[in-house]
Amino acid sequence: MSHSDETALSGLSQLGGASDVASSPEDAVLERVPNPHPDTNYTARFTCPEFTSLCPVTGQPDFAHLVIDYLPDEWLVESKSLKLFLQSFRNHGAFHEDCTVGIGKRLNEVVAPRWMRIAGYWFPRGGIPIDVFWQTGAIPEGLWVPETGVAPYRGRG
């Protein structure tokens, strides 16, 4: 590990110790670490099959399966900080579209990847599933991005 990598890791506030979940996504701290392979095109994927937030109207829980893919540049998202960020939505009221796109934009701002997408597969609310997809642009040529592996909602049919 280079000295600059050690310096970047020493600035992390959540890794390696107990950390509380922020009271809101705005208060959550997303951290980044140096990409050890910035000269290589590869896809990094995070899957959160049990994401929860609250309906901003009824206060009832909403559930989603999130899949986040990105092509790192100089930085990687630090996974513990991502987990705590996603958990901060548990008591946050927002529509499905706001949660999904907001998570993608916040990650894009912090990590500044070459490319990113987020797929939010939301379980039905009022009998209608809402799936939300956002990406920063076309998939870069030659980048292997597997399918998300999440089937569309079919109910009992």
Catalytically active residues, by annotation: 55, 62
Contacts of 71 (CB under 8 A, 6+ apart): 41, 42, 43, 44, 113, 114, 115, 116, 140, 143
Pull the structure tokens for residue 75: 């930085």
Q: How far apart are CA 145 and CA 153, in angstroms?
A: 22
Contacts of 146 (CB under 8 A, 6+ apart): 43, 45
